[in-house]
Amino acid sequence: MTSPVPLPLVGLGGGPLGNYLHPVSDAQAQAVMDKAWESGIRYFDTAPFYGLGLSERRMGRALREHPRAEFVLSTKVGRLVRPGPGDSGGFAVPGDHHIEWDFSRDGVLRSVSESLDRLGLDHVDILLIHDPDRHWPQALDEAYPALADLRAQGVVRAIGVGMNQSRMLVDFVKHTDLDLLLAANQVTLLRRTAFDELLPLCVDRGIPVIAASLLHRGLLAADRPPRDAPAEVHALAATCARHGVPLPAAALQFPLRHPAVSTVLVGAHDPAHVNADLRALHHPTTSAFWDALVT
């Protein structure tokens, strides 16, 4: 799989740094970024949606300490941060801003400009159309051509789409010229919806896939799942225990077994989470273990 931007095995996802599910202090967010850099992570993904701009501000503040040529940064278009109360989308942030959907050409260009302001950087490497589930015509007819123009002008190096569903990603691959995809919650031990059509299509077209949302909001983040977790989770944990493989290791390594997947994103509310994720990602496994786990 090739991409105009080199994609490493692992990247840091910016959702937790936008206070997803619970607050993270500025100091703790900085510590997460510092630990990720110290650990060798050089790909960082964020979006205006994550904390209504908070994740971009925090990532940008940390990344400005490093040479720009030494890291890859992606952000997204489709949601604009606007003043005034509204839905925070699950992020623990003040209610003085809200998100407006906008996949128009003007909206895309405005989004990129505002993202660069929040990041405090002069460019991003990758732009992704973000969750256009209910906006297919405008995303296809306006957002995609705007991103393609930015790529042709050299403003960004690569463009793609990031979504939580496979069906529309397949349509984007068939009808556009994308460099990569971000598939969230589709290439996981619990949800394998991308395997039937999307991943084989990406192999055929040479489009690398970034897999995200692999721990299912913590369900797969510990060897002993919550007691009320679905039976399928407990069965996965039992198989992992029999083979001496941590459940998070299986969850993070599983997508990389498919040739379409080049990269996994990990998220961290705390520096210790970065260490734990990287240990899990590199934990030794055997073919017998995968044969037993994946049926």
pLDDT digits (tens, 9 = 90+) for 166-223: 999 999 999 999 999 999 999 999 999 999 999 999 999 999 999 999 999 889 999 9
Q: Give the HSE-up count for residue 95: Cα atoms under 13 Å, Cβ half-sphere.
A: 4
152 Cβ contact list (under 8 Å, min separation 6): none
When computed from its CA atoms, the radius of gyration of the chain, rounded to whole angstroms, is 18
Confidence at residue 52, expressed as pLDDT on a 0 to 100 scale = 97
> How far are the Cα atoms of 1, 106, 151, 155, 167 from residue 145, in angstroms, in the given order?
24, 11, 10, 14, 20
Report pTM.
Answer: 0.96
Confidence at residue 263, expressed as pLDDT on a 0 to 100 scale = 98
Q: Is 20 a catalytic residue?
A: no
Provide the mean pLDDT of the chain: 96
Does the structure show a pLDDT above 80 at 295? no
What is the pLDDT averaged over residues 47-71? 98
Residue extents of the structural domains in the chain:
10-293
Confidence of residue 90 (pLDDT cuts 50, 70, 90): confident
Q: Cα–Cα distance between 77 and 193 in angstroms, integer?
A: 24
Confidence at residue 89, expressed as pLDDT on a 0 to 100 scale = 81
Q: Is 16 left (phi over 0), alpha (psi -120 to 50) or beta?
A: alpha
CB 278 within 8 A of CB 10: yes
Confidence at residue 246, expressed as pLDDT on a 0 to 100 scale = 97
Confidence at residue 217, expressed as pLDDT on a 0 to 100 scale = 85
pLDDT digits (tens, 9 = 90+) for 95-143: 899 999 999 999 999 999 999 999 999 999 999 999 999 999 999 999 9
What is the pLDDT averaged over residues 13-36? 96
pLDDT digits (tens, 9 = 90+) for 123-133: 999 999 999 99
Confidence at residue 1, expressed as pLDDT on a 0 to 100 scale = 59
Right CATH for 10-293 from 3.40.605.10, 3.20.20.100, 3.30.56.10, 3.50.50.60: 3.20.20.100
Q: Which residues pair with 98 in a beta bridge?
A: 82
Q: Which of 20, 43, 50, 144 is catalytic?
A: 50
